[in-house]
Amino acid sequence: MKNGVIAAFLLITIVDLSAQNLPKDLEAAVTIAQVGSTPLLIETMIDYRGIQQNQLDEAYKKRDQIIVDLNEVKASRRHRAVWSGVMVAVTALCAGSYFYLHDLGNDAYDDYMDATISEDATEYRDTYERYDLMSYTGLGLAGVGAITSIVLFAKIPSQKDLQVQRTTIEGEIQRLEGALE
Do 24 and 58 fall into the same domain?
A: no
Domain limits for position 149: 49-180
Do 66 and 134 fall into the same domain?
A: yes
| pLDDT one-digit tens code per residue, 40-90 | 554 444 456 777 788 888 989 999 998 898 888 888 888 888 888 898 999
Instruction: Report the domain count for the chain.
Output: 2
Do 73 and 28 fall into the same domain?
A: no
Do 128 and 42 fall into the same domain?
A: no
| pLDDT one-digit tens code per residue, 117-175 | 889 899 999 999 999 999 999 999 999 999 988 888 887 777 888 888 889 989 988 88
- Determine the distance from the C-alpha atom of residue 48 to the mean position of all C-alpha atoms in its chain, rounded to a whole number: 35
Do 175 and 130 fall into the same domain?
A: yes
The structure's pTM equals: 0.55
